């Protein structure tokens, strides 16, 4: 089962999913499964959020809070839930605001080790 | 009921709460209720996370995703859940990693309008 299959499966299991990406922490996209596309440029936004994840990681390191494992941002139009797969890669799921964020966190948590096994 | 009462109430209602702060988006702390203190400097970490919130807000604005309403970061030692109270202020709850993040989001959501009414 390749990366793309895992990304598709995550989208299928979470109500309100718009897209799921595997990305480098440096912001380089490895692969994305896109469920729907509207005028919002989801891919670019997720790339931008990788910068936010890096800032969170730096803040946590400075204060000895340990490595960042998970990260979420909700805006009026989209919720993004990210989970570290390895120190260098993360999966991020974009949801409609009314999507199920708890389910998103759960599905990413169980999928991350499967994706890590393929890196 | 002052700010501090609301912050204390949030901590009492959420299992695993360590501290709850009302902060300016500029990183200036208005008030904090601290449940427990260990070697981790929670207050400074939360100030640092306000910078992360600002980056998320900028990223979302650039991509027309709308204003950031909620934000969460989990590390090995601490989960922080933040909710905007107004465009200039947010509440942030620090939890132990095993704390109930869903409950944290719910309690912050219902408390935010009460705090906003006092700003």
The tens digit of pLDDT for each residue in B8-67 reads: 999 999 999 999 999 999 999 999 999 976 667 888 888 888 999 999 999 888 888 889
The pLDDT value recorded for residue A36 is 78
Which residues in chain B (42-101) have CB-CB distances under 8 A to chain A?
A: 44-45, 48-49, 51-52, 55-56, 59-60, 62-79, 101
List of chain B residues whose C-beta atoms are within 8 Å of the C-beta of residue A93: none
Contact at 8 Å (CB) between B20 and B7?
A: yes
- Of A94, A87, A67, A86, the C-alpha closest to A10 is A94
Lookup: tokens for B10: 């949030």
Lookup: tokens for B13: 């209602």
The pLDDT value recorded for residue B108 is 97
User: Percentage of chain A surpassing pLDDT 90?
Assistant: 68
List of chain B residues whose C-beta atoms are within 8 Å of the C-beta of residue A67: 75-76
Query: How many other CB atoms are there within 10 angstroms of residue B27's CB atom?
Result: 14
Nearest chain B alpha carbon to A74: B70
The pLDDT value recorded for residue A2 is 82
- Whole-complex ipTM: 0.89
Lookup: tokens for B44: 């400074």
The pLDDT value recorded for residue B38 is 67
List of chain B residues whose C-beta atoms are within 8 Å of the C-beta of residue A55: 51-52, 55
Distance, first Cα to last Cα, chain A: 12
Nearest chain B alpha carbon to A63: B45
Q: Mapping DSSP to helix (H, G, I), strand (E, B) and coil, where does residue B85 land?
A: coil
Nearest chain A alpha carbon to B42: A63
Decide which of A61 and A109 is more confident: A109
DSSP one-letter code for A26:
T
pTM for the full predicted model: 0.92
- Label residue A44 by pLDDT band (50, 70, 90): confident
Give the pLDDT confidence of A2-41 residue by residue, as tens digits. Answer: 888 999 999 999 999 999 999 999 999 999 999 976 667 8
Where does B1-119 show beta strands of DSSP type E?
17-24, 29-34, 68-75, 79-84, 89-95
List of chain B residues whose C-beta atoms are within 8 Å of the C-beta of residue A41: 63
Quote the minimal CA–CA distance from B48 to chain A in Å: 6
Bridge partner residues of A72 (DSSP)? A81, B72
Query: Phi/psi zone of residue A64: left (φ > 0), alpha (ψ -120 to 50 degrees), beta?
Result: left
- Of A86, A85, A104, the C-alpha closest to A94 is A104
């Amino acid at each position: 089962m390749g990366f793309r299959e895992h990304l598709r499966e995550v989208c299928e299991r979470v109500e309100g999913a718009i897209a799921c990406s595997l990305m480098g922490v440096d912001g380089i996209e490895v692969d994305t499964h896109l469920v729907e596309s509207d005028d919002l440029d989801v891919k670019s936004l997720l790339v931008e959020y990788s910068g936010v994840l890096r800032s969170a990681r730096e803040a946590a390191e400075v204060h000895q809070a340990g490595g960042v494992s998970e990260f979420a941002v909700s805006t009026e139009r989209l919720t993004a839930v990210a989970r570290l797969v390895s120190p260098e890669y993360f999966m991020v799921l974009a949801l409609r605001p009314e999507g199920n964020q708890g389910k998103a966190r759960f599905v990413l948590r169980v999928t991350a080790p499967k994706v890590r096994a393929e890196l």
